Every structure is written in C-alpha cells, then in structure tokens.
Amino acid sequence: MSTNFPTRAADGLRNTQQRRNLAKATNTIRGKTAKVTAELPDWEALREAGKAIKREAHAKLDQYLLQLEEMVTKAGGHVHWAADAAEAREIIVRLTRQAGTDQVIKIKSMTTDEIELNPALEEAGIRPYETDLADMIVQMAKERPSHLLVPAIHKNRVEIRDLFRAEMGEHGTGLSDRPPDLTRAARAYLRQKFMETKVAISGANFAVAETGTVGVVESEGNGRMCLTLPQVLISIMGIEKVLPRFDDLSVFLQLLPRAATGERMNPYNSLWTGVHAGDGPCEFHLVLLDNGRSKILADEVARETLHCIRCSRCLNVCPVYERAGGHAYDSMYQGPIGAIVTPQLRGLEEAGSLPYASSLCGACHEVCPVKINIPQILVHLRGRVVREGHAGKGEALAMGVAARMFGNQGALDWSLWAGRLGQKLLMRDGTLPWLPPPLSGWTLSRDFPALPEQSFRDWWQKREDK
C-alpha cells in the first residue's frame, strides 16, 4: 500500500486534540533547544565539525565498517551483516531463539521499527517489551510512533492514564494522571521485566571504527538496565552510524542532546566494547543493516540524508509536521527528515508523496545540528518523482501545459487575459474562494489570490516608457 501523505494529513488536521497536544509539546522543546544551543559560543563550529566527520565516515564507509567489524570481534563480540530488513529480522529471531527465551526487552530503537522487528518476533512466539516510556505507551496503544524522539507526543496524560489503567494490571489500578504517579507505575511494571528477561535488543546512536565501541544515549535509564542486566545483548544499527575515531564522540555527545531535548548532556551515555567477564552481558551481537542505505550513498545530492543523527529538531520546527501530525508520514521517520529518508528507503513509487510534505520554508535546514540541506534534497526528490514517472497523470499534464505556457510569451499573455476575464465570475472581495477541479484542491482549505489587473511585465514596460 502506498503512503498517501495528503489523505493522512487531512485526518491529522481534523484531529484538534492532537494538534493542541503537538503545538504545546513542540513549542516547549523548541524553546529549550534554542536556549541551550544559543549558550554555546562554538555551536556553529560544532555543527561544521559534525558535518565534516559524517562526510569523512561516509566517504570511506567500506573501510570504517570493516575496521569496526575487526575491533568488535577482537573484543569478543559477533558482527552480522544484513542486506535488508528481512535478513536483519531473520538474524535477530535466530539469535533470540538460540538464547532459549520467549521474551525480550527492547531499548528505544528506530531501526527495529524500520525493519518491523516486533511483529516478526511475535510471529516467532517471542514477546517484545518496549522499555522506553513513550515507546511502551505506543506499544500498549497498538499504534505507531508519531515523533522520532517522543513517540507518544500526540497523547496527553489523561489518555496515558486511561491506557495504563487498561493495560498494566495491578500497577494501573486507580492510577491518577499526575506525571510522577504515571512514572511510578511504569517503573514498577518494567522492573520485573528487567529482572527476568535474558535477551535485550538495542539500537545504536554511534559505533566507533577505531575501538569497536558502540554507544546509546538516553534520558530515562531504562536503556542502561537493558544494556547491563540481560545475558545476551543484540544491537542493530544502520551502517551510516559508524564514526572513524573515539574522539569524534565528543562532538556528537554535545550536538545530540542539545538539539534533541534541550539538555546539556544526556543523563545516560552508555558505551560498550565487546564483552567483559563478570561485567554486563556475556554475549554481544552487532547487526549492521544496509536496507537501502548504499543506494542513498550513491546519490550525490541526497547522500547527506545519511548524516542524520535522529535528534528530531527538524520535526519540532516544521509547520507541516505540527499540523499534520506524525502518523501522516506513515513511517517511523516523520517530519522533514521522514520526508526525505522514507521515500529513499521505501522507493518513490510507494512514498513519492512525502517529498511534497513541506512548504520549503527552510527552518529544518537552519536548525539541523549536522546542517543537512533538507529543502534541497526535497526538491531533488520531487524532480526524481516526476522524471521516474511517479507523479499523478493530472499533475504531469498540468505541468506540461504550464511549461509550454511559460515558454511562450504570446500564450502566456493570452492565458492571463482569459484568466482575468474568467475570474470576474468567481471573485469575492478580491480573492477566489472556489475554483473548478483540479485547482479545487487548493481552494478546499484556502482562497486563491486573484490575478492582478496589471502583470509585472506590463508594469515594467510602462515604467521603461516613461
């Protein structure tokens, strides 16, 4: 089924409660991130450094990945290569079965959502438990995440209380909607899972080629529990996450928390290198996932997409995301980054409407901590949608007519004359509140500006004649 952004966005626009929840949450995060990024005098230099490191890592990606494999193996870990989502699912299900368990605990990971791991585990008779609070809420509600970092951003605390009461058994009985009570109930519910589960599955924010170190940063501490208590740890990461040197972490450990949640530092920064007797899991597996990333790397304009550190700052400043809501993107990657990454991962035939989910205002580019030029990539992908034949027939026809009209002065003058004449029938207070199809899509939710009596060309000519 294809991802139809306009239809889904219309649903989001009608959901006034969701719009209120989103506006409140994104406004708060925007304020916090703006304050803590402004207080660093070298913030711009850090952004440049982050971008340069990503460029270097991706220019020699093959070398750095092989080095990472060598160092992880040397430290007692195992590396697995997955060309696509199906292969990654098969590897993780097999490893979990080998550990002889029928349940796993999970740390927040967009990559596991990308490969649709949870349904695959359930199908194999293995129950996955999300331990990140927001992910747990989304899992209990049987919904999809609606924000990269705050997957339950569309829900308010009353909705969460009702969910906990319904899903948490004794821990949810008589629960209030006060945040401390909700957190206490979640903690009690999760504690048991941490203690009894043998296998944990995590994503990875970074992996260092030089040392074989893998890292996860988080705010709640649930990740730290998953990374230390179980006997087996399986981590999956997209191949673009590799960093050349251990020192590179110093740049990203500053960029990520400030851009993501407006914190100066993440409360929990976990780094591990292979396995160590008597300390943490005794078995460690790292799954390196391609799943379309090599193809993105081959596109000279769009390859910057792979620089993304999933901070979600672009979502929090995007006027389209704030109004349409995360579910409109039909993907675990939402907002401006979702609008460029999902079509490239899933293909333009399936997700070709997403590059149009933007006003091209440029706010995402302005705030991105690694300076990804998202508007430029959106325009590039729109071009590919048309060139590769995924645009609607009506749109292709309209654009063809427009191209001919704008390329011929006589035809343009005639069209303007006819338009001015025709609009007299439809004009109300200087605007056009209704237009016939296919332009009716525009006037469904806003007026169309009327053609002015004098074109710029006429005005210029008169000015020259004076």
Stretch that binds ligand SF4, among 187-195, 305-313, 422-430, 435-443 (CB under 6 A): 305-313
| 70-109: contacts with ligand SF4 (CB under 6 A) | none
Q: List the structure tokens of 21.
A: 């929840």
Distance CA 145, CA 128 (A): 16
- Residues 235-274: x where in contact with ligand SF4 by CB under 6 A, - otherwise, as a string: ------------------------x---------------
User: What one-letter code names the amino acid at 69?
Assistant: E
Tell which one of 106, 171, 313, 384 touches ligand SF4 (CB under 6 A). Answer: 313
Of 9 and 308, CB closest to ligand SF4? 308
Q: Rounded to 5 degrees, what are φ and ψ at 283?
A: -135, 130
Q: Considering only 100-108, 183-191, 309-317, 414-422, which stretch makes contact with ligand SF4 by CB under 6 A?
A: 309-317
Judged by beta carbon, residue 18 or residue 312, the one nearer ligand SF4 is 312
* DSSP labels, 191-253: HHHHHH--EEEE--SEEETTTTEEEEEESSSHHHHHHHSSSEEEEEEEGGGEES-GGGHHHHH
Q: Nearer to ligand SF4 by C-beta: 209 or 318?
A: 318
Give the DSSP per-residue string, 12-40. Answer: HHH-HHHHHHHHHHHHHHHHHHHHHHHT-
Among 369, 378, 384, 391, binds ligand SF4 (CB under 6 A): 369
DSSP summary character for residue 429: T
- Distance separating alpha carbons of residues 138 and 144, to the nearest angstrom: 6
Looking at the Cβ atoms of 88 and 314, the one nearer to ligand SF4 is 314
Q: Which stretch binds ligand SF4 (CB under 6 A): 195-203, 324-332, 364-372, 457-465?
A: 364-372
Q: Does 310 bind ligand SF4 (CB under 6 A)?
A: yes
Binding test (CB under 6 A) with ligand SF4, winner from 208, 288, 314, 381: 314
DSSP one-letter string for 336-401: HHHHHHHHHHH-HHHHTTGGGS-----HHHHH-TT---HHHHHHHHHHHHHHTT-S-HHHHHHHHH
Establish if 370 lies at the interface with ligand SF4 (CB under 6 A).
Answer: yes
Instruction: Tell me the CB-side half-sphere exposure of residue 439, using CA atoms within 13 A.
Output: 10
**Touching ligand SF4, residues 318-357 (CB under 6 A):** 337
Residues near ligand SF4 (CB under 6 A), total: 13
Least distance in angstroms from the C-beta of 388 to ligand SF4? 24
Is residue 160 a contact residue for ligand SF4 (CB under 6 A)? Answer: no
Q: Which residues pair with 78 in a beta bridge?
A: 285
Examine residue 308 and tell whether it contacts ligand SF4 (CB under 6 A): yes
Q: How far is the CB of 326 from ligand SF4 (least distance, A)?
A: 13
Residue closer to ligand SF4 by CB (options 138, 374) is 374
User: What does the chain come to in residues?
Assistant: 466
CA distance 183 to 134: 11
Stretch that binds ligand SF4, among 4-12, 196-204, 363-371, 420-428 (CB under 6 A): 363-371
Q: Give the shortest CB-353-to-ligand SF4 separation in angstroms.
A: 19
Residue pair 235/204 in contact by the 8 Å Cβ criterion: yes
Complex with ligand SF4: residue 343 or 369, whichever CB lies closer: 369
Q: Which H or E element spans position 110?
A: helix 110-114
Binding-site ranges for ligand SF4 (CB under 6 A): 259, 308-314, 337, 368-370, 372
